[in-house]
């Protein structure tokens, strides 16, 4: 029998509610109208609005991140991964990190133009650009907007290195660009595989490609010479962590050269969204999963300290880390890839009204 939350959940979406963000002073919730009549909820459609950014490169000084800059072609993500640590960023837009995050998206079509302008500044210093670290650049709306491909074209033109993280099959559309950049040492790609169980994936990541399809993405990228990382993340204690070794093995078989893992992170509004999801779909193990997570974060659902937030600490975290180390050694996977080239970078030339003589 379905729980009340499951009954109310919109089909094809990850979050079960549209709870207000931490900045809202008013709380909204659904109430029955008193009529004992079964009603079918309307389909929750995806809405896309346009943003014209004045800057596109975001810089960070986080010591536990392997990059200091990133770009995001989109805000929000239609893949709808219920566990997504980026959900709280929607609160800055006055939207809910719940269903709004996966249904009210923002596209930034001027991103390639702004990117070119920022890289053309005299003070700009080249270093690998990260894309997909917040929301997926190859989510379904990329098919209509093409912002990610246009950004890649700018980066390729300038010989700028880029590291991409995605679950989206649309990356295969750009294998022509990625293959050329790979031959110049300018690109690497990370493909996230949370579970190999298609049914579980459909519940956690309702609009992301199935696990088998992501492994096929690794094969196709690897065949084109693109260095690929298999990312076993996030690992969910007592739910997906038993699959760690098999995820790595299948990633290696598909052609991945490097591997990484991250423990489930529940910052801000993500924790109640995740706990609602657990109560609806896995009530038998919800308590055990949350207990393991709290053990790794000093009794809290999440600890955002640098060097701690990605893995946690304590016996359980150490066991996962040890299993990962043994598995990648056995499989011949590396933790880190060779550095990408930065010496090929040529700043974009400013637009000019005068025609070139040559």
pLDDT band at 48 (very low <50, low <70, confident <90, very high): very high
pLDDT at residue 9, rounded to an integer: 65
Instruction: State yes or no: pLDDT of 139 exceeds 70.
Output: yes
Q: Which residue has the tokens 């950014």?
A: 53
- Residues found in the chain: 358
CB atoms within 10 A of CB 198: 11
Distance CA 177, CA 229 (A): 18
Concatenating the DSSP letter of every residue in 8-70 gives HSPTT-S-S--PPPTT-SS-------S-----PPPP---EEEE---S--EEE---TTSS-SEE
- The tokens of 9 are what? 């959940």
Tell me how many degrees the CA angle 318-239-16 measures, rounded to the nearest 5. Answer: 125
pLDDT at residue 111, rounded to an integer: 97
- The tokens of 158 are what? 């300038």
Residue 357: phi, psi to the nearest 5? -80, -15
Residue 285: strand, helix, or coil: coil
Instruction: State yes or no: pLDDT of 1 exceeds 50.
Output: no
Give the pLDDT mean for 293-303. Answer: 93
pLDDT band at 304 (very low <50, low <70, confident <90, very high): confident
Instruction: State yes or no: pLDDT of 38 exceeds 80.
Output: no
pLDDT band at 19 (very low <50, low <70, confident <90, very high): confident
Give the pLDDT mean for 142-158. Answer: 98
Whether pTM exceeds 0.75: yes
Instruction: State yes or no: pLDDT of 21 exceeds 80.
Output: no
- Best CA proximity match to 166, nearest among 104, 203, 217: 217
Instruction: State yes or no: pLDDT of 353 exceeds 50.
Output: no
pLDDT at residue 39, rounded to an integer: 59
- Best CA proximity match to 182, nearest among 152, 212, 209: 152
Tell me how many degrees the CA angle 325-328-332 measures, rounded to the nearest 5. Answer: 140
Q: Which residues of 125-159 are buried (b: 16+ CB within 10 A; e: fewer)?
A: ebebbbbbbbbbbbbbbbeebbbbbbbbebbbebb
Instruction: State yes or no: pLDDT of 357 exceeds 60.
Output: no
Instruction: State yes or no: pLDDT of 231 exceeds 90.
Output: yes
- Best CA proximity match to 286, nearest among 3, 29, 19, 1: 3
- Best CA proximity match to 84, nearest among 214, 221, 205, 207: 205
Residue-wise pLDDT tens digits, 89-106: 999 899 999 999 999 999
Give the pLDDT mean for 161-176. Answer: 98
pLDDT band at 117 (very low <50, low <70, confident <90, very high): very high
For residue 163, the cross-strand partners are 130, 188
- The tokens of 120 are what? 């053309």
* Fold type of domain 52-331: pyruvate-formate lyase- activating enzyme (3.80.30)
């Amino acid at each position: 029998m379905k729980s009340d939350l499951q009954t109310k959940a919109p089909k094809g979406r990850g979050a079960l509610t549209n709870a207000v963000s931490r900045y809202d002073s008013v709380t909204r919730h659904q109430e029955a109208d008193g009529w004992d009549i079964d009603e079918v909820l309307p389909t929750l459609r995806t809405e896309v609005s346009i943003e014209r950014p004045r800057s596109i490169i975001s810089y960070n000084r986080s010591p536990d991140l392997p990059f200091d800059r990133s770009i995001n072609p989109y805000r929000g993500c239609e893949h709808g991964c219920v566990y997504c640590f980026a959900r709280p960023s929607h609160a800055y837009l006055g939207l809910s990190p719940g269903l709004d995050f996966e249904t009210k998206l923002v596209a930034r079509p001027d991103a390639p133009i702004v990117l070119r302008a920022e890289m053309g500044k005299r003070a700009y210093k080249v270093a690998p650009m990260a894309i997909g670290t917040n929301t997926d650049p190859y989510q379904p709306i990329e098919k209509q907007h093409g912002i990610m491909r246009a950004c890649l074209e700018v980066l390729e033109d300038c010989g700028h290195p880029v590291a991409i993280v995605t679950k989206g099959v649309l990356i295969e559309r750009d294998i022509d660009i990625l293959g050329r950049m790979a031959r110049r040492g300018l690109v690497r790609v990370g493909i996230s595989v949370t579970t190999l169980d298609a049914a579980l994936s459909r519940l956690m990541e309702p609009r992301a490609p199935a696990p088998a399809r992501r492994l096929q993405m690794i094969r196709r990228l690897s065949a084109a010479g693109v260095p690929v990382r298999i990312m076993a993340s996030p690992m969910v204690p007592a739910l997906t962590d038993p699959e760690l070794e098999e995820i790595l093995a299948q990633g290696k078989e598909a052609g991945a050269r490097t591997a990484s893992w991250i423990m489930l992170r529940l910052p801000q509004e993500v924790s109640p969204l995740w706990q609602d999801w657990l109560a609806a779909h896995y009530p038998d193990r919800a308590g055990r999963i949350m207990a393991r997570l709290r053990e790794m974060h000093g009794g809290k659902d999440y600890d955002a300290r640098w060097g701690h937030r990605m893995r946690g600490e304590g016996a359980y975290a150490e066991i996962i880390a040890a299993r990962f180390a043994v598995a990648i050694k056995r499989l011949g996977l590396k933790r880190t890839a060779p550095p990408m080239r930065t010496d090929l970078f040529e700043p974009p030339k400013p637009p000019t009204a005068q025609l070139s003589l040559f």
